[in-house]
């Protein structure tokens, strides 16, 4: 008696797919760990945001002005377990990027790709500069694709019928944690809903199991929503301020899509673009057609909102996986696929790694990358001698030491009531993280969550700060004294400043603190 054919695509064993994915994840972790250690040796320090996340981790809450709460928890746990050294606090982000690469291999397996195709997908995604960059430092961006692609993996299996309906609870868990990790997850989930509604797989939405998963999702997101409500939705206020400023570059649709090709590495474009077409039109991809619609809906949304180019990065593993699965159907010889994957790994070693990771001294970096012009890809109007992800690791120790020299030079009776006022969270958190070893007091600032943390009892009678021009302070202080320049050749261009001693604030901070607020 003959057996009916299986409704699912032929797949290699899950065990072998997991073994290959785990090997790639470990490989990526080692690359990040070693490059971070070497970068410290070369003079690269904390990335600006890392210090801020550490300070948020020391003030755990269900929300922050400019972020969801999980990155602060990540920072707190990393500092508690491994210490405060830059490489130590990045441990979980290194692991998360490794998991992202591994998930790409599992997604390829889910779409019917054999081991050689999985190798191609993981090699290509490992060479993508945007994901390699965001995985190289403590951030919420490193975890974002893990939550998104984990949730999507569940839906792919439910849609084809190989996943239990109870898997919707796992979807709800991953999606809910994704929202608590970064609010842009909401836009991904809306795009996923649109993708499902536009496809025959819409039927899986109208089940009790789906309702249970969505309920769990909402319950997990509720604490942050409650915090936002209690604080008059500061994240919306911040995003609205940014939208009405000239901080970010606004790209037309074609230029925005071209940036996607650049930040994912030019040579990988045929793979992931081919993945879109395969998901959208191939008969073999019919059970997962909604994934193509999801990407297109998300892309259109980000274009309409003039989002930063890297906001789409977490969705690309599914396209790399689809492209590799399709390639595996057309190329039956594994040796050819392995050669293609090896070429992507060479791109990681000789191109993406050197331009993204802290493995070259700055002067060598400029010489090595001169033909590539890596600083041409940026989402904000700020400029820097190196790409922001590298320039923002320079100057913090110098700045704090400069504050310490000027603070300790003050007479003891003046020093006792002198504070440090900073214009942004990078400067403030640098003082808070590195300042105690020099005897500095905690910093205050009106930027982002520092505004909510208040003025720490200072009146403004005597404050040290760094800024551009003494005239920026004369309307609020009776006396402004220039204490000399702060400079570092590799820091962001807007961080070439002067130290100022601000004296006799005309209106004390307690009565004037709302005017210091800067959310944007």
Judge whether residue 59 has pLDDT over 80.
yes
- Given a contact cutoff of 8 angstroms between Cβ atoms, the answer to whether 313 and 130 are in contact is yes
Distance CA 150, CA 192 (A): 13
Q: What is the pLDDT of residue 461?
A: 96
Q: What is the mean pLDDT of residues 486-513?
A: 94
The confidence score (pLDDT) of residue 379 equals 59
Q: Can you tell me the distance from the alpha carbon of 333 to that of 337, in angstroms, rounded to the nearest whole number?
A: 7
Give the pLDDT mean for 60-64.
97
For the chain, give every domain's residue range.
14-356, 396-516
Residues 6+ apart with CB under 8 A from 449: 56, 59, 64, 65, 66, 425
Q: How much is the pLDDT for 8?
A: 53
Give the three-state DSSP class for 459. Answer: coil
Please report, for residues 123, 136, 330, the alpha-carbon distance to residue 131 in angstroms, rounded to integers and kept in the order given: 12, 9, 28
Is residue 11 pLDDT above 90, yes or no?
no
Q: Would you say 60 and 72 are in contact if contact means Cβ atoms under 8 Å apart?
A: yes
Arithmetic mean of pLDDT, 246-272: 91
In this predicted model, what pLDDT tens digit does every residue of 422-475 receive, in sequence order? 999 999 999 999 999 999 999 999 999 999 999 999 999 999 999 999 999 999
**Spatial separation of the C-alpha atoms in residues 82 and 203, rounded to whole Å:** 47
- Would you state the pLDDT for residue 375? 64
Q: Quote the pLDDT of residue 294.
A: 98
Q: What is the mean pLDDT of residues 283-308?
A: 95
CB 166, CB 204: distance < 8 Å: no
Residues of the chain with pLDDT > 90, as a percent, come to: 89
In this prediction, residue 488 has a pLDDT band, given cuts at 50, 70 and 90, of very high
From the list 279, 275, 283, 288, the residue with the least C-alpha distance to 161 is: 288
- DSSP secondary-structure letter at 380? B
Global pTM? 0.94
Query: At 2, is the pLDDT very low, low, confident or very high (cuts 50, 70, 90)?
Result: very low
Q: Is the dihedral of CA 305, 311, 313, 318 positive or negative?
A: negative
Residue 304: pLDDT over 70: yes
Residue 80, token pair as written in the block: 């508690």
For the packed helices 48-57 and 70-82, what is the interaxial angle rounded to 10 degrees?
A: 90
């Amino acid at each position: 008696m003959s057996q009916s054919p299986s409704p699912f695509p032929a797949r290699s064993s899950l065990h072998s797919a997991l073994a290959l994915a785990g090997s790639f994840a470990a490989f990526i972790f080692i690359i990040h760990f070693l490059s971070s250690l070497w970068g410290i040796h070369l003079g690269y320090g904390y990335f600006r945001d890392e210090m801020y996340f550490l300070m948020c981790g020391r003030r755990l809450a269900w929300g922050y002005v400019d972020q969801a709460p999980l990155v602060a928890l990540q920072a707190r746990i990393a500092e508690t377990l491994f210490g405060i050294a830059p490489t130590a606090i990045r441990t979980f982000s290194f692991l998360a990027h490794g998991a992202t690469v591994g998930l790409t291999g599992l997604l390829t397996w889910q779409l019917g790709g054999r081991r050689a195709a999985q190798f191609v997908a993981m090699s290509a995604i490992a060479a993508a500069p945007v994901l390699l960059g965001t995985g190289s430092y403590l951030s919420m961006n490193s975890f974002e694709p893990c939550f998104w692609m984990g949730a999507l993996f569940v839906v792919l299996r439910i849609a084809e019928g190989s996943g239990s309906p109870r898997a919707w609870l796992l979807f709800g868990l991953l999606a809910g944690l994704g929202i608590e990790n970064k609010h842009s997850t909401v836009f991904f989930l809306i795009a996923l809903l649109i993708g499902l509604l536009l496809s025959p797989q819409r039927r899986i939405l109208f089940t009790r199991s789906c309702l249970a998963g969505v309920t769990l999702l909402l319950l997990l997101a509720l604490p942050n929503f409650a915090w936002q409500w209690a604080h008059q939705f500061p994240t919306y206020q911040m995003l609205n301020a940014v939208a009405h400023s000239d901080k970010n570059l606004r790209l037309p649709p074609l230029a925005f899509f071209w940036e996607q090709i650049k930040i994912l590495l030019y040579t990988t474009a045929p793979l992931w673009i081919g993945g879109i077409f395969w998901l959208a039109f191939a008969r073999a991809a019919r059970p997962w057609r909604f994934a193509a619609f999801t990407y297109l809906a998300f892309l259109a949304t980000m274009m309409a909102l003039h989002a930063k180019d890297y906001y789409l990065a977490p969705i690309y593993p599914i396209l790399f996986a689809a492209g590799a699965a399709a390639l595996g159907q057309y190329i039956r010889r594994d040796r050819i696929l392995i050669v293609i994957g090896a070429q992507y790994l060479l791109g990681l070693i000789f191109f993406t790694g050197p331009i993204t990771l802290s493995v070259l001294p700055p002067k060598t970096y400029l010489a090595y990358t001169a033909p590539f012009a890596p600083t041409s890809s940026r989402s904000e109007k700020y400029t820097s001698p190196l790409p922001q992800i590298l320039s923002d690791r320079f100057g913090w120790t110098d700045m704090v030491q400069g504050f310490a020299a000027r603070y300790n030079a003050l007479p003891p009776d003046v020093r006792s009531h002198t504070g440090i006022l900073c214009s942004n969270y990078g400067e403030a958190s640098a003082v808070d993280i590195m300042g105690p070893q020099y005897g500095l007091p905690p910093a205050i600032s009106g930027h982002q969550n520092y505004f909510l943390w208040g003025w720490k009892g200072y009146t403004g009678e005597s404050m040290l700060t760094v800024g551009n021009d003494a005239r920026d302070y004369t309307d609020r202080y009776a006396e402004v004294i220039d204490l000399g320049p702060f400079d570092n050749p590799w820091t962001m261009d807007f961080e070439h400043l002067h130290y100022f001693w601000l004296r006799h604030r005309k209106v004390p901070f307690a009565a004037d603190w709302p005017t210091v607020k800067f959310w944007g």
